[in-house]
Structure 1
């Protein structure tokens, strides 16, 4: 039976929430959109009149599609060139989902998305549905076909794992800009000690080039090593410009709720460096340079009022 206008409207009203769930589960905006589109096809083929709670039905279908996707994604990432990092989203992207509470903001931070890659798929789903969307364990159990007790156990394990992997530090947009400004100033100074001062002693730096942009598989570890790498990264020379296709304008921004430096060449985002900040300093620098994972950011950037760059390299 063809969908009625009301059926389509009901799905479209749920789409933003579904996309936000899928993005947190998959770490990819493109894959999230594909999962939501497949959910729509399932909705189109269903006996909608027999569905008692459409929101619950849609969430269940989407979540299980994402779990299947995660299982195959893990196999694909074993052959991925270099280190795999999630796709960053710039501030204001509706796919980031709810951000009313510190827990919701944290659940979509770049640091936590990276940490969640280590969780079993079902555990990741429980964490996302509970932490970011406040689903009760009873509903999560129905979505995943598990017991309520199992849902609670999975959530506690996931939350413990995420908490052990990072120090929480909620930062507003103004503070994020100040952090990035200081960071870029130190990076442009050419002096290692300026950057070391901003980093924690056990700071790490890692990047994802997807085999299309040079990126070291092994992370740089320790303040001195990270500072040396960053100085080279922000050095203005022909080799750097050849890699990204021209002179980069670098801006202070926010991505996934974290301070970020966004590098742009002729309107195209060529890199997003997310800074994980604690009370002791910058503890992690994660750079996404794979052009396939920057297409959505580029589209958003074109519509943003981004002002003047802080650095040109």
Structure 2
């Protein structure tokens, strides 16, 4: 009994890190919870197996579980039409205290998760574990059944893909909020010129409608097309919107009397909006928990 209690206590200490690894691997809070739970089940069944480094052992298990889940997801998505976006993490827009800053420092934006979704499962694992959690390639290699040198190459390929996309926002959160406020004001007014002014010329607008009937485009690029669409739809839709923190950056949440109907993550770079990731998938919104 004492050994089981100690094991459970040690696992709970590891849980936040394991959850963070799994979310970055899967882009889904619910699937991340499933992966971490599977790690606990395997640990509880390990019996007398000698585990010298519990944290490393659990990270290996979660990594392998996530790879299997990503491969299964890819197989299910062969007939998927449209854009898939991650499950968002949404919190109150106000608040700049130490706890809030800790959340921001440990966050990962939706735009980055979208790029990670384009990687192979092995590339994603190598990048997430090494670049985000400083796991040595010697420990990553057996998880992906490669040599350390090959694991390094996987992370290098992933890194090039990430660097080639607008995933890192301006560091000043207050400045991000001003840009998002200007975007919302222009959207409410249906002001095409004001929208163009706040959008990056090469802005990417992605929409995840889930299983809903697609009454809007799931991908738009360029400030003119995005501004035109927003100017038409904005006055009706934006009246339900309010600022929020979405995955640690300035974003938008839309609510009606029935609850949350949309979440938008925005990447503000050089004072303009470079990406907009709009989540309308009711399954993801239904699971959404707004943190205070």
Query: Equivalent residue for 1:251?
Result: 242
Give the distance between the partners of 1:252 and 1:289, measured in 2 at CA. Answer: 17
Q: Distance in 2 between matches of 1:114 and 1:88?
A: 11
The 1-side partners of 2:232 and 2:68 are apart by 40
In structure 1, runs of 5+ residues without a counterpart are: 93-97, 241-246, 305-313
Residue 194 of structure 1 corresponds to: 194
The residue correspondences of 1:1-313 to structure 2 (distance < 5 A) are 4-48=4-48, 50-91=50-91, 105=107, 108-166=108-166, 168-212=168-212, 214=214, 216=216, 218-236=218-236, 249-266=240-257, 268-279=259-270, 281-297=272-288, 299-301=289-291, 304=292
RMSD of equivalent CA atoms: 2.4
Query: Are the equivalent residues in 1 in contact too, given 2:179–2:273 (CA < 8 A)?
Result: no
Structure 1 stretch displaced more, 24-33 or 134-143? 134-143
Match of 1:244 in 2: none
TM-score, length basis structure 1: 0.83
TM-superposed CA distance for 1:220, in Å, is 1.5
Equivalent position of 2:98 in the other structure: none
Any idea what SS the aligned residue of 1:119 has? coil
Give the Å deviation of 1:261.
0.9
Structure 1 distance, partners of 2:208, 2:42, is 34
Contact kept? 1:25, 1:124, Cα under 8 Å: yes
Between the aligned partners of 1:100 and 1:53, the Cα distance in structure 2 is: 29
Per-residue deviation, 1:30: 0.8
TM-score (norm 2): 0.88
CA distance in 1, matches of 2:2, 2:283: 35
Distance 1:262 1:167, change over 3 A: closer
What displacement does 1:217 show? 5.2
Residues of 2 paired with 1:16 and 1:30: CA distance? 14
Cα shift readout 1:171-210 (whole Å, capped 9, x = no counterpart): 3432232221111011112221110111122222120010
Distance 1:162 1:59, change over 3 A: same
Q: 1:295 to 1:114 in 2, by over 3 A?
A: same
Query: Within 2, Cα distance between the matches of 1:145 and 1:82?
Result: 33
Task: For residues 149-182 of structure 1, give each alpha carbon's deviation from its aligned partner in whole angstroms, at most 9, with x where no partner exists.
Answer: 1121111111011101226334343223222111
Size of the alignment, in residue pairs?
283
On the 8 A contact 1:252/1:259 being kept in 2, the answer is yes
Structure 1 residues 64 and 273, CA gap change in structure 2 (3 angstroms): same
Change beyond 3 A, Cα 1:31–1:293 = same
Q: Against the structure 1 CA distance between its residues 290 and 213, is the aligned structure 2 distance closer, same or farther, given a 3 Å change threshold?
A: farther
SS at structure 2 position matched to 1:197: helix
Matched residue, 2:96: none
Contact 2:190-2:231 at 8 Å conserved across structures = yes
Distance 2:47 2:228 in 1: 60
Q: For residue 61 of structure 1, report the CA deviation from its aligned partner.
A: 0.8
Counterparts of 2:135 and 2:103, CA distance in 1: 15
* Distance in structure 1 (CA, Å) of the matches to 2:153 and 2:213: 41
1:40/1:114 CA distance change after superposition, 3 Å? same
Whole-angstrom distance in 1 between the partners of 2:153 and 2:209:
36
CA distance in 1, matches of 2:266, 2:251: 6
